Chain A
Amino acid sequence: MRLRRRLADLAMTGLCALAVGVALVPLASLLWLVVSRGLPGLTPAFLLGRPAPVGDPGGGVGNGIVGTFLMVGLASLLAVPIGVGAGIFLAEEGDGPLGRAIRFVAEVLACVPSIVLGIVAYAVVVIPMGHFSAIAGAVAMALLMVPPLARATEEFVRLVPGTLREASLALGVPAWRTSLRVVVRTALGGITTAMLLAVARAAGETAPLLFTSLNNQYWNLRPDLPTASLTVQIFNFAISPYESWHAQAWSGALALLLLVGVLNLLARFAARDRLGGGSR
């Protein structure tokens, strides 16, 4: 009996280890492939330049990186007030029917494939404007960012101990000021994490941008014009028939991976300081 138990234990531990190994293989191979193929082309000129015609030497994704930042920035301007505001509302007042309805809608929105959000932005922004634009891309990204922002904000606000709220109310601080200046302030580290994760997610999306911001061979900071993005550039490089562009797709992919990785690291860093343990 004891032997059987030990054997079963051993077999199960082995199977679990095997599962971990199998799960890590794709990750490791993905990292290896992107780094080994992308690193040679990842030069300052590549990061700071703009795409060159086929055959010309050089060319880069600088304008795409700028475009991605532009659109993520615009999307954050739209999504952060809505998402964080909704999250605070859900945490503070969200136990009634209205709160349940908002939570349900947010969950449904979170399940909508990103390409569908792109089509929506196309119909709502691109068609009325008559042309592709950064603002259309930002609207699609914002639709993507709002649900996880609202959900995460709600979670972090709910984590704030009720005793802090009581302490504030007992000092004669009105409920709304207590919500903002004690509860939300205490949850700010977590909310920052949620924002960075939403930004990282949006920065890595291609589908919502394909028919909203389209692409642009030039530097652009005007929100009403078609705008390059790192992801769409990678897509265009990758589907082209040219060897040199394929190499640029790998380098662009590595740049994107680094960008998203740094954002995730920052998010973890912000989360560590979640309850504001440090002094000012």
Chain B
Amino acid sequence: MSAAPQASPTATKISVERLDAWYGATHAVRGVSLEIPDRAVTALIGPSGCGKSTFLRCLNRMHELLPSARAEGRVLLDGEDLLSGEVDPVDLRRRVGMVFQRPNPFPTLSIRDNVIAGFKLNGMRGGRAETVERCLRQAALWDEVKDRLGASPLSLSGGQQQRLCIARALAVEPEVLLMDEPASALDPIATARLEELIHELKERYTIVLVTHNLQQAARTSDQTAFFYMGELAEAGRTEQIFTNPRERRTEDYVTGKFG
């Protein structure tokens, strides 16, 4: 385990200190420490089963949804330990939003109501027309759906559905956006649009992106962390990881020798 060097001069948004996570008897994340810079994209790469998705889910405690899962260590969001008993996971998830592998809009809600689902489902007023438009614009979807906001989200293409899910995550005004292989179900054109979008979003949000696509990591991220067998093998500036990795395993992976 090498300690993560500071990737960029910006402030740290999330500081992970010696994180261990288990699913039942599986030790999925082993002693990972990583600094995640504010308003930048951090890409998590590594072969399947290397613990990167588990690591991501620990950042908004979605890992707890499996009863057998547990995590130890410290995850500091602006200095506050998320894994301590004092943090309410429901409040936390409003600050740390998530976008999933497959687009998962709510099929029973209209496009409009999907965007403001975070308010509606919580029985809150709020989420007015301005919110809908702002979030759909931020997610680069507004022009395509502005004439059919009342339609079912299932009438959208996969790429549009995924951008709708991003708009939905943005509507609750999170500080951090976690993306778990958000392009894995999208075609190349939709993927390119998504990457453009990630680039725009990092001006306002801290983004942590899990991806299997190395080019995507290289194109979109500022910092890259390479996971291997549950450990953080290497982390650093994306340019350095891809052109001049310090670890042999990293070099083998990014040059396609395995994985």
Whether A171 pairs with B117 at a CB distance below 8 angstroms is: yes
A209 to chain B, nearest CB (A): 38
Q: Which B residue's beta carbon lies closest to that of A165?
A: B65
Whether B117 pairs with A170 at a CB distance below 8 angstroms is: no
| Cα distance, A185 to B117, chains bound together (Å) | 13
What sequence of 0s and 1s flags, for each residue 159-175 of chain B, a beta carbon within 8 Å of any chain A beta carbon?
00000010011001000
What sequence of 0s and 1s flags, for each residue 72-102 of chain B, a beta carbon within 8 Å of any chain A beta carbon?
0000000000000000001111100110101
| Cα distance, A173 to B90, chains bound together (Å) | 6
| Cα distance, A163 to B92, chains bound together (Å) | 19
Whether A167 pairs with B104 at a CB distance below 8 angstroms is: yes
Q: Which B residue's beta carbon lies closest to that of A275?
A: B107
Partner of B172, one of A166, A172, A188, A278: A172
B42 to chain A, nearest CB (A): 18
The reply to whether the CB of A169 lies closer than 8 angstroms to some CB of chain B is yes
A221 to chain B, nearest CB (A): 36
Whether A177 pairs with B152 at a CB distance below 8 angstroms is: no
Whether B107 pairs with A186 at a CB distance below 8 angstroms is: yes
A276-B93 contact given A173-B118, A173-B121, A177-B121, CB 8 Å threshold? no
A65 to chain B, nearest CB (A): 35
| Cα distance, A186 to B93, chains bound together (Å) | 22
Residues in A with CB closer than 8 Å to B90 are: 172-174
B6 to chain A, nearest CB (A): 29
Residues in B with CB closer than 8 Å to A181 are: 121
Residues in A with CB closer than 8 Å to B98 are: 166, 170
Interface residues of A in 227-280 (CB under 8 A from B): 275-280
Point out which of A177, A279, A280 has the most chain B C-beta atoms below 10 A from its C-beta.
A279
Whether B122 pairs with A164 at a CB distance below 8 angstroms is: no
| Cα distance, A161 to B106, chains bound together (Å) | 10
Residues in A with CB closer than 8 Å to B91 are: 172
The reply to whether the CB of B108 lies closer than 8 angstroms to some CB of chain A is yes
A280-B110 contact given A167-B100, A167-B104, CB 8 Å threshold? yes
Whether B123 pairs with A177 at a CB distance below 8 angstroms is: yes
Residues in A with CB closer than 8 Å to B106 are: 164, 167-168, 182, 186
Q: Which A residue's beta carbon lies closest to that of B67?
A: A95
| Cα distance, A10 to B151, chains bound together (Å) | 51
The reply to whether the CB of A178 lies closer than 8 angstroms to some CB of chain B is yes
Q: Which A residue's beta carbon lies closest to that of B118?
A: A171
Whether A276 pairs with B122 at a CB distance below 8 angstroms is: no
A166-B122 contact given A279-B152, A279-B155, CB 8 Å threshold? no
| Cα distance, A140 to B105, chains bound together (Å) | 42
What sequence of 0s and 1s flags, for each residue 154-198 of chain A, a beta carbon within 8 Å of any chain B beta carbon?
000000010110111111111001100110011010000000000
| Cα distance, A186 to B60, chains bound together (Å) | 25
Residues in A with CB closer than 8 Å to B94 are: 171-172
Whether A279 pairs with B150 at a CB distance below 8 angstroms is: yes
Residues in A with CB closer than 8 Å to B172 are: 171-172
Whether B104 pairs with A171 at a CB distance below 8 angstroms is: no
| Cα distance, A170 to B64, chains bound together (Å) | 12
| Cα distance, A170 to B166, chains bound together (Å) | 12
Residues in B with CB closer than 8 Å to A174 are: 90, 122
| Cα distance, A168 to B122, chains bound together (Å) | 10
Partner of A170, one of B107, B150, B152, B169: B169
A178 to chain B, nearest CB (A): 7
A169-B93 contact given A163-B102, A178-B121, CB 8 Å threshold? yes
Chain B: residues with CB nearer than 8 A to chain A? 60, 62, 65, 90-94, 97-98, 100, 102, 104-108, 110, 117-118, 121-123, 150-152, 154-155, 165, 168-169, 172
Could you list 4 further interchain pairs (A-B, Cβ under 8 angstroms) beyond the known A164-B107, A171-B117, A280-B110?
Answer: A166-B65, A167-B100, A174-B90, A185-B108
A-B contact pairs, 21 of them (CB 8 A): A166-B98, A167-B100, A168-B117, A168-B121, A170-B100, A170-B169, A171-B118, A173-B90, A173-B118, A173-B122, A174-B90, A174-B122, A177-B122, A177-B123, A181-B121, A275-B107, A276-B107, A277-B154, A279-B110, A279-B152, A279-B155
Chain A: residues with CB nearer than 8 A to chain B? 161, 163-164, 166-174, 177-178, 181-182, 185-186, 188, 275-280
8 interchain residue pairs of minimum CB distance: A172-B94, A170-B98, A279-B152, A276-B108, A171-B118, A163-B104, A172-B93, A167-B104
